[in-house]
Structure 1
Amino acid sequence: MLHEFDPEALSYVDDIYLTDDEILQHLRRVSRIVVGFADIGYKFNFKKSKIAFLSVIFLGYELSSEGKSLAPHFLEKCALLQPPNTVRKLQSLLGFLNFGRTYIPDYATRIKPLYELIRPNFSSTFWTIEHTHILRELQSDLLAVKHLHTRDNKTHLVIRVIPGAVGFTYVTFNEAETVPIAYKSHLYSAAEQRFAQTEKIRTAVQMAVIKERPLAQGQRIVVSPVPALEAVTKASVPNSKALHPRWIQWATSLTATDVDYVFDPKL
């Protein structure tokens, strides 16, 4: 319904967010939305609304012309994080860190040792100096981040894939921008851990495209830097471990008409 009044506005439950470079255009859009909902019997709580602000807090993030930043209250809590001494506190800590995961490269691999501690009988004796080191590094990274960009649906979506030994990271960008939209990471399954490196790359590329296709919002997706995957077959990969159905999935994904695969380390 909101998009009938303003196709570019964002919403979550009963919150609406819209942004403009010019104040009069912004106020016209706000007026159109308010009048549109009033005509069908809805009212806005203007005491809780923020109109024509340079930045706002939306879904736990601070949004401004620079992009999307972690909200001040999140950073204040982050600065006070301490090692947990109960399983409930451990789970709470992991949930808190997960909120900022899109700001941290290779998050899934780095957080893995802390997740391995989850067990009913967890106590502070399971927590070691190494775990504290991991926590402090993640904490430091979150406190140091500036901002991420939001998606510009008028440009191509660029996905940069960075495969690793036990998992992979991919970074999303608006075309021609250097500030990321988000960092995403994933651990390989036990079966995928045994894959040849080429198979791991194909796993990473396919998953990144599937997960980020909605973010492209109808624009083309450019994936880089990947080798010429079309020429790669199961028979051509030494020590291939992936089963034939997986290879069929990979071959099918390469026929998608909305994705370009390029080998360009600069992207």
Structure 2
Amino acid sequence: MMFRRVAVATARVACAARMYTPSEDLKKLYGSNFENATFPLNIVPSDSTLFAKFLYKAAEPKSAFDAVLKDFDAIAAVSTKLPVFWERNADVENIAEFKALAPATVFTLIWMQNNGMLELIPAVRESFETYVNAQKKKAVAKIYVNDLKDASVAEAKKVAQDLHKGNSDLNGYTLEFKIIVDKEIVSGFAVDLVGQYVNQAKGAEASAKISGDDVDFTNIPAPKISKTIWEDNVETEVLRKYIDQLAQYDAEEAKNGV
């Protein structure tokens, strides 16, 4: 279980011009023993599970689970438009597109950011969805195919149905399908139903194999350097700043503890 290293549930979280005041309900929930409360099923404890548990308990009184799921969709859409390393450089509460998110979602994002864990957002979503699906008595089969119109989708659904029927733990659960496009699959499919995995997918095979004995290593052409849309050395500068930030965080932890 994650140690709550930065408490965003204090009266205020402030640094420079940054100011965030969570609601009393969220502060009360954060200060409670929510992670040991009752949940629809057990998931192996982890940092992402802890955040998901908080979101679940925040949404539970009003059954606002769908609102949080929509928030995750919004976060995923916005993340593709934000600058590189936005997780470390931007204040979550100041991102315009995040202002419409539910208060519990904003609270959790700030909590995650204060602990340098915003990269866990996809894992938090997966854990949260698992709790919600269990609460709604839904068993979601993830079907991986090359194309949504692939003929193997029907066969994959049949496999998922057989897995569902054969799992006594899923008695009373409604089976639903989530089709996921995976371009690494050339033919066939893969099915994942609550940890039960069936893989009948085939990937691309090399059209020709080159033996090391056939390669003349004394006559290898010089690599062709492709210019990026960025100015020269910008990539190096961005990476340098990122590494400097990491070094600063390490130094602060060594001095002040975590």
TM bin (shorter chain): under 0.3
Q: Higher helix proportion, which one?
A: 2
Q: TM-score with structure 2 length normalisation?
A: 0.24
